[in-house]
Amino acid sequence: MSERGEPRFPYRFLLDADISPEVARVARALGLDVISVYECGRAELRDDEQLRLAASGDRIFVTRNRNDFLRWTAEFIRMENAHRGVLIVSRSIVAIEPEPLAYALLRWTERMTIRLEGEPLEEYFLDFLTVLER
């Protein structure tokens, strides 16, 4: 958040159940708007429901579940059921510690904020989050 209480970045995130909720805590300390499905009591939802939950909250969904969410994005396009975006976390990002993923998310957010000049992502946006985010 800025000194005026405004979000520092224009993008908001929802972390899938396959990502530790500790990542959300670390990412928030870095100035990102991130919540975990565990924090909102929705970890038990099916994949398509998770994606709808993210879309309803105007959040980009962050997951390690590549194959299923590639398929779900194609299915949402077919059904004309828009989502705000999916970030698929690469296996290059260590899963046992929250910091590598939180910092990769910060670098991705900084890069996209500059590239898109703070504009929203296009519907059905899909990207891969790697340890090499610059």
Which of 119, 130, 98, 117 is closest to 30 using CA atoms? 98
Per-block mean pLDDT, blocks of 10 residues, the chain (134 long): 63 96 97 96 94 95 95 94 94 90 96 92 93 57
Q: Which two tokens stand for residue 85?
A: 């975006």
Map out the domains of the chain as residue ranges. 15-129
- Considering only the C-alpha atoms of the chain, give the largest distance between any 2 of them, rounded to a whole number of Å: 42
3-class secondary-structure state, position 122: coil
Neighbours of 66 (CB within 10 A): 14
pTM, full prediction: 0.91
